[in-house]
Amino acid sequence: MEQKLFVILQLFGGLALFLYGMDSMSRAIQQGAGKRLRSVLARCTANPAAGVLTGAAVTAVVQSSSAVTVMVIAFLAAGLLQLRQAVTVVFGANIGTTVTAQLLAFQVEKWRYLLLFGGVLLCFACKGQKGRCAGEALFGFGLLFEGITVMGSALQPLAESPRLWQWLLQVQENPLLGLLAGLGMTLTVQSSSATIAMLQSAAAQPGPDGVHSLLGLAGAIPVLLGDNIGTTITAVLASIGQGRDAKRVAAAHAIFNLSGAAVCCVFLRPFTALVQQLSPVGPECAVIARQIANAHTLFNVLCTAVWLPLTPLMVRLVRRLLPDR
């Protein structure tokens, strides 16, 4: 009982470090370069392709699709963006948020203590705001990876649990269970990056043979799709009390992820095979974090490729769902 309690506390402690590091890094970047990023977001959305690229780039820098979505809704309310422009930026934000999973798959956590030390050193050495913000961002980045390491250590004993094995077998046989699990985790934690990091850590745990993943890619992808659906709640919450167009952006974000997840679930086997072909070859436990990151990126890139030419249709759809009063 005491060991189980310790594992749970360690898991939630690692999650807390990850979330705090992510939030610290995002706030520091926004504080140091927020005005410039907002200016870029407002200006570089003249056409749909530019809107997607801008959304992806700003989200990759800020490391928070939630922050970009909130900015988009604020610009929309202020009249700086039109609905069509805002929708394409949200498409791009979905791509930009996959950078976190890609960085985690590179196993940068080996350098986490150097990042933490460098961040503190910059904070104390720099007197200017930009230098301090850079230090806080670097420290937050290191803290993020420390959280990943702690969560990974907490998940290792769970690999020996027979109950967990039974549940994972059910997830592999029934993708709907995995999708609901991912959705529930993201709604609870309010961070798709955190839940995907937990997914990468859990999937990297070896099974009884010591070679194959505890979860497997086919079991991990439905959880990943649920994470993508769950992240749409941020836009919904940000649109509360805002104008009609803000709610339409939230609806477009939800339609984007729901439609993509539905199609991906139908073609789960071909999608899994495509991800495996695009990912490095090796023992499953060694490459599955990269496979999950690639699946996350591929899902959002394919959804954007499909919906970008259909942006006018998306705008008409959300206007019909949420007509002017």
Residue with tokens 């007197």: 127
CA gap 212, 159 in Å, rounded = 12
**Stretch (H or E) spanning 236:** helix 233-238
> How far is residue 229 from each of residues 218, 236, 261, 268, measured CA to CA in Å?
18, 12, 8, 16
CA gap 112, 231 in Å, rounded = 27
**What is the tally of structural domains in the chain?**
1
pLDDT reported for residue 261 = 92
With the C-alpha atoms ordered 284, 286, 287, 290, is the resulting torsion angle positive or negative?
Answer: positive
Neighbours of 89 (CB within 10 A): 30
Give the structural domain span for 133: 2-321
* H helix count then E strand count, the chain: 16, 0
DSSP 170-191: HHHH-HHHHHHHHHHHHHHHS-
Residue 69 identity (one-letter amino acid): T
Tens-level pLDDT at each residue, the chain (325 residues): 666 777 778 778 877 887 787 777 767 766 765 566 666 666 666 688 888 888 888 888 776 677 777 777 777 776 777 888 888 988 998 898 888 788 777 766 677 788 888 888 888 888 777 788 888 878 887 887 787 777 767 666 665 566 665 666 677 778 888 888 888 877 776 677 777 887 887 788 776 666 677 778 888 899 899 988 888 877 777 677 777 888 888 899 899 999 999 999 889 899 999 999 988 888 777 788 889 999 999 999 999 999 999 999 999 999 998 887 6
With the C-alpha atoms ordered 69, 100, 229, 87, is the resulting torsion angle positive or negative?
Answer: positive
113 and 79 Cβ atoms separated by less than 8 Å: no
183 and 226 Cβ atoms separated by less than 8 Å: yes
Q: What is the CA radius of gyration of the chain?
A: 20
With the C-alpha atoms ordered 9, 15, 20, 21, is the resulting torsion angle positive or negative?
Answer: positive
Phi, psi of 86 (to 5 degrees): -65, -40
3-state secondary structure of 155: helix
83 and 315 Cβ atoms separated by less than 8 Å: yes
